Amino acid sequence: MSKPRIEEWTQLRALAFLAIVMQHSIAEYIYRADIEQADSIMLTMVYHLTRFGTPTFVFLSAVLLFYNYGEYSGKMNYFKFIRKRFGDVYVPFLCWTFIYWLYVHVFSPSFWQKGGQDWGSLPKELVIPQNGYQLWFINMIMQFYIFFPIMAAIYRGVRGRLHSLSERTRSRSVFAIIACTGLFYFILLYLSYHQMGPWAEALGRPWSDLLQYRSYSFLMYGFYFVIGAVCAANVEKWRTWCTKLLPWSGLVFLGMYIRLGSDVLRGSGEVVNLNISTYLKPATFIIIIAQMLLLYGLLIMMQSRNKTFLRLLSWIGRYSFGGYLVHALVIYIIGNFTRPLELGGSHLRFTLLTFMLTVSASLGISCMLSRMPGSRWIVGAKKRSLQRKVSEKSDYRSKSRVFS
């Protein structure tokens, strides 16, 4: 039997999508030569409100897989599992990789000067996407799908051990798992941010390439998979934790928000360097976790209040995957019109305008494509019916209780 739909996951996906579009809209303007300092500072401040975007997609990918497949005790049909992910996720990646490559090269004079002989760059896009710069996420998450059956076996083993414990011991054990994996992940990020760069220069291939492109590895986002598994194991308990932690997650987020903004402004020269707050920076990891818990808790508290806003988020979330695939192309098109303009003093306004236009156009295109034949190969699988929701009377909570 299909499990009930968890509506806040769709809403959280919508917020993550909006954050990613804002990040890329900011990147379109913040590095322009005519930008004024006031706009640079404001865009940096907005940027650090959006750092949760991609890691939240990772978290939600893990949540959905563990929720739907983690409890399955029979032998998983690995070929069928991978085939479904390949069709729903990787085929759209192939499609949009070609579209981005074609778009960039059609508008590149050098391509035509060479008689269209630059086809050799297309295979590179399948490994390290540059034209569709957001598509790196698909390659990374496909690694998680490939190894998921192993993770699911570990997940079931841990659940089995926790099931025999008392409720209090169960909760403490889960907290210990989160704390230990979080500590190891923090150390990994510290090494990545401060040490692995020099290591890559000192080592020969292929190790230097692996370290140089470490942000493309699913291992560098491992902690988000862990907390995704914890959330999937007991949704109600996760909701309770997030709401109880709201004051603390808010304070941590505020403190790290000030810290990251200060780091970027002090570490930048005449041009702001947003790479200072990369996803693989320990301080960025802390603000992401705090903001993710904060937003989850706020969504839970809003479920019985602002229905109109939540319905909007649910609609955005349903079409967010297609919107994610297409949004960089929309920004490219908008950039063709804005780049020749002198925008001194107006970069913040144009960023916000670009964000709104990109969100509207991307979701509109995604919605339109999802209604066409063969939409699965372009914007992914069609979303399940919204009629299956978790209600206060759902018996799933009693069936899914792993820790209390």
Dihedral class, residue 64 (left if φ above 0, else alpha if ψ from -120 to 50, else beta): alpha
Note if the bond before 206 is cis, omega within 30 degrees. yes
Res. 396: pLDDT tops 50:
no
Supply the mean pLDDT for the chain. 87
Residue 404 in domain? no
Distance CA 70, CA 73 (A): 8
The answer on pLDDT for 402 being more than 60 is no
- Does any domain span residue 157? yes
The letter for the amino acid at 387 is: Q
pTM of the model: 0.90
- The pLDDT of residue 30: 93
Residue 217, classed as helix, strand or coil, is coil
**Spatial contact of 21 and 403, defined as CB atoms under 8 Å apart:** no
d(CA 398, CA 368): 39
Which residue, 34, 81, 45, is CA-closest to 257? 45
Q: Residue 210: is its pLDDT beyond 90? A: no
Nearest to 327 by CA among 123, 137, 142: 137
Query: Residue 242's pLDDT band (boundaries 50, 70, 90)?
Result: very high
pLDDT score of 194: 87
Q: What domain count does the chain have? A: 1
For the record, the structure tokens of 83 come out as: 């085939």
**Tell me, what's the pLDDT at 401?**
37
Tell me if 369 sits within 8 A of 321, measured CB to CB.
no
Compute the Cα dihedral for 312, 318, 319, 321 and give only its sign. positive
* Residue 1 in domain: no
* Residue whose entry in the numeric block shows the structure tokens 């990891």: 285
pLDDT digits (tens, 9 = 90+) for 55-101: 999 999 999 999 988 776 566 788 898 999 999 999 999 999 999 99
DSSP for residue 345: T
Residue bearing tokens 């806040």: 8
Confidence bin at 110 (pLDDT 50/70/90): low
Q: Which residue range(s) make up the domain with 194?
A: 7-399
How far apart, in whole angstroms, are the C-alpha atoms of residue 142 and residue 201?
A: 28
Q: How confident is the model at residue 393 (pLDDT cuts 50, 70, 90)?
A: very low
